[in-house]
């Protein structure tokens, strides 16, 4: 016989058990439901990326110059989700090893295309072979790669860096001829770009060949790594080593900005009147407005343009590939040469004559970058 107290106790136990069971079932139901729905969500997002978008992995070499920033912006503006692209951007911070890691990650992510802006020319064979084995087309942009098998990349688009250098050297030759300056009076220092980069190799060759042919004295070739800080540091040291420098050939505008600071701080005068003791600065890019303003002030006497707006060009290549069209293996961009001096109005390199754009404020304002 169960007494009333025992009956109440048993009922309370049963109720507690029922409540605990109910709570456990609720927790299980919630967790099952949420894990199911989050898994479903992941799958959906992945499907959306691979099905709806063309996925492009872009290995940019770094952020060393104004040119590079403009180039990065151009790529980001070209490959937007609104246009059907998903751009995965990786900054290599000037290190080839970082770029190789980025390419391997793109391969694991099974991107549709890899775009590579290589820091230097050599050392890409292995990783490009891996991309080829994975069936992913690789488009090289800006600088070139030097590989044993050209089928390791689909195509390249960029500047003819040697032509840029030859144009600049021809401008100097024509200027000195017209100003009746003897070649033996010319004492040049070359602040080079990153050693092993196509932009350095081509521009250095353009000057070195011309110096040899024209009898100019090429006092020194030292890398400034395409940066303002290094350009300044190198110029400071060159001014201490040589007192007869009258031409500074900077392989980009950021180096020129640094070299100009160093020259002015050393109390020397910058300008094209080298016969009167000024130091003439020559440069490449013409991207930042400040560089173009310096041309008007004769702080940079001549700039050979290097065009950074490759985003739409790479996009056109991908569109061609998507449509089953084979793009040209190499696409060179047309570029200008700018000066505020009217001494040289045109110059001939090879069989081609190039007009020198005599820079004005209006021309600067009309430019797209």
Tokens of 206: 């353009």
Our CB check for ligand AHR shows the closer of 252 and 301 to be 252
Our CB check for ligand AHR shows the closer of 246 and 311 to be 311
Q: How far is the CB of 308 from ligand AHR (least distance, A)?
A: 7
For ligand AHR, the binding residue among 112, 142, 162, 170 (CB under 6 A) is: 142
> Which x/- pattern, by CB under 6 A, does the window 256-285 give for ligand AHR?
----------------------------xx
Tokens of 369: 């970058």
DSSP codes, 43-105: HHHHHHHHHHSEEEEEEE----SHHHHHHHHHHHHHS-GGGTEEEEEEE-TT-HHHHHHHHHH
Q: How many residues bind ligand AHR (CB under 6 A)?
A: 12
What backbone phi and psi angles, to 5 degrees, belong to 22?
A: -60, -45
> Which x/- pattern, by CB under 6 A, does the window 294-313 give for ligand AHR?
------------x-------
Our CB check for ligand AHR shows the closer of 54 and 259 to be 259
Our CB check for ligand AHR shows the closer of 270 and 304 to be 304
3-state secondary structure of 310: coil
Our CB check for ligand AHR shows the closer of 54 and 75 to be 75
Q: How far is the CB of 130 from ligand AHR (least distance, A)?
A: 24
Nearest by Cα to 291 from 252, 345, 335, 245: 252
Residues 359, 339 contacting (CB under 8 angstroms): yes
Q: How far is the CB of 285 from ligand AHR (least distance, A)?
A: 5
> Which x/- pattern, by CB under 6 A, does the window 49-78 give for ligand AHR?
---------------xx-xx----------
Which residue has tokens 């195509």? 155
Our CB check for ligand AHR shows the closer of 68 and 313 to be 68
Residues 98, 128 contacting (CB under 8 angstroms): no
**Residue 32: its H or E element:** helix 4-52
Nearest by Cα to 337 from 284, 300, 289: 284
3-state secondary structure of 9: helix
Our CB check for ligand AHR shows the closer of 86 and 226 to be 226
Our CB check for ligand AHR shows the closer of 159 and 246 to be 159
The whole-angstrom separation of Cα 333 and Cα 243 is: 38
Q: How far is the CB of 267 from ligand AHR (least distance, A)?
A: 28
Nearest by Cα to 220 from 234, 232, 210, 233: 234
Is there binding between residue 124 and ligand AHR (CB under 6 A)? no
Positions 187 through 226 that interact with ligand AHR (CB under 6 A): 199, 226
Residues engaged in binding ligand AHR (CB under 6 A): 64-65, 67-68, 142-143, 199, 226, 252, 284-285, 306
């Amino acid at each position: 016989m169960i007494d009333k107290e025992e009956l109440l106790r048993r009922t309370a136990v049963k109720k507690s058990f029922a409540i605990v069971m109910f709570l456990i079932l609720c927790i299980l139901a919630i967790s099952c439901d949420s894990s199911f729905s989050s898994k479903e969500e992941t799958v959906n997002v992945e499907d959306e990326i691979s099905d709806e978008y063309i996925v492009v992995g872009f290995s940019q070499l770094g952020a060393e110059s104004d040119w590079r920033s403009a180039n990065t912006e151009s790529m980001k503006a070209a490959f937007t989700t609104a246009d059907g692209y998903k751009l995965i951007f990786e900054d290599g911070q000037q290190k080839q090893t970082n770029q190789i890691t980025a390419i391997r990650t793109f391969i694991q992510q099974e991107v549709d295309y890899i775009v590579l802006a290589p820091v230097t020319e050599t050392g890409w064979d292995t990783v490009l072979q891996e991309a080829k084995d994975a069936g992913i087309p690789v488009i090289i942009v800006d600088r070139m790669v030097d590989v044993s098998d050209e089928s390791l990349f689909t195509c390249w688009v960029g500047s003819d860096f040697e032509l840029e250098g030859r144009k600049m050297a021809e401008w100097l030759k024509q200027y000195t001829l017209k100003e009746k300056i003897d070649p033996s009076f010319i004492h040049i220092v070359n602040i080079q770009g990153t050693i092993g980069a196509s932009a350095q190799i081509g521009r250095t060759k353009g000057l070195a060949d011309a110096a040899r042919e024209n009898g100019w004295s090429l006092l020194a070739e030292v890398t400034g790594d395409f940066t303002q800080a290094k350009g300044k540091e190198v110029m400071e040291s060159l001014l201490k080593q040589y007192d007869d420098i009258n031409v500074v050939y900077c392989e980009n505008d950021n180096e020129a900005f640094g070299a100009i600071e160093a020259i002015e701080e050393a109390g020397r005068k910058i300008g094209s009147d080298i016969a009167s003791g000024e130091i003439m600065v020559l440069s490449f890019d013409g991207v930042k407005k400040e560089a173009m303003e310096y041309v008007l002030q004769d702080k940079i006497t001549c700039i050979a343009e290097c065009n950074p707006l490759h985003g739409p060009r790479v996009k056109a290549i991908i569109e061609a590939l998507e449509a089953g069209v084979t793009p040209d293996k190499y696409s060179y961009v047309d570029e200008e040469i700018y000066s505020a001096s009217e001494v040289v109005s045109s110059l001939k390199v090879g069989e081609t004559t190039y007009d020198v754009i005599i820079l004005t404020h209006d021309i600067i304002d009309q430019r797209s970058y």
